[in-house]
Amino acid sequence: MIYVYVKHTVANFANWREIYDGHRETRRRKGCLNERLFQKFDDENEVTILFTWSDEQSAREFLGSQDLKDTMQKAGVMQKPEIRFLNLIDEVRLSEGPEQHPNFG
């Protein structure tokens, strides 16, 4: 399993989100297991995504695909994204409380 960090700026978050959500099944079929979506606190158009992929090769193939490039252009991604491939080395839960974000109740 591998983690992929992707950060980019979009022209309009609502438009981007609709197209991003519509592409979810493609990501799943290509090996994406999980995704966490973040916005910069003071700029909703700066988007960061932390993906979990089944393996590095699947992630690299998807991220280099023409389909993704076309989808990102359609979604209004403003520049080449910052992409980092990460290995999880440690995870510690520091609270007994619920892990779920309060907005997703």
Which tokens is 101 given? 């974000």
pLDDT by residue (tens digit) across 10-37? 999 999 999 999 999 999 999 999 999 9
Q: What is the pTM of this model?
A: 0.85
Enumerate domains of the chain plus CATH numbers. 2-88 (3.30.70.100)
- Given a cut of 70, whether residue 89 has pLDDT beyond it is yes
The predicted structure's pLDDT at residue 86: 97
The predicted structure's pLDDT at residue 102: 56
Q: Which residues pair with 51 in a beta bridge?
A: 4, 35
> Are 35 and 52 a contacting pair, CB within 8 Å?
yes
